[in-house]
Amino acid sequence: MIALPLTALGPVMDLNYLYQRYFISLQLAEGAACDSSRSVHRKLAEGYAAKIADAKANGTPAAAR
């Protein structure tokens, strides 16, 4: 059964979105004005990296590839 993203049983994860957010977080960390901002952006990047790794290890719906 193929479900539309809005009717799928679980959330559909778009890897392109995750990669985009990951790289933006890295860029913001690099240009941050203070250590606390830099740390927050790095933690966000780590979170996105974990979601990407999880999606790759556990598979993603065909629509999200």
Q: Comparing C-alpha atoms, which of 51, 46, 25 is closest to residue 37?
A: 25
Q: What's the rounded Cα separation, in Å, for the pair 12 and 58?
A: 13
pLDDT in tens, 16-51: 999 999 999 999 999 999 999 999 999 999 999 999
pLDDT score of 64 more than 50:
no
Q: pTM of the prediction? A: 0.71
Q: Comparing C-alpha atoms, which of 41, 54, 42, 43 is closest to residue 15?
A: 54
| Tokens, residue 56 | 């790759």
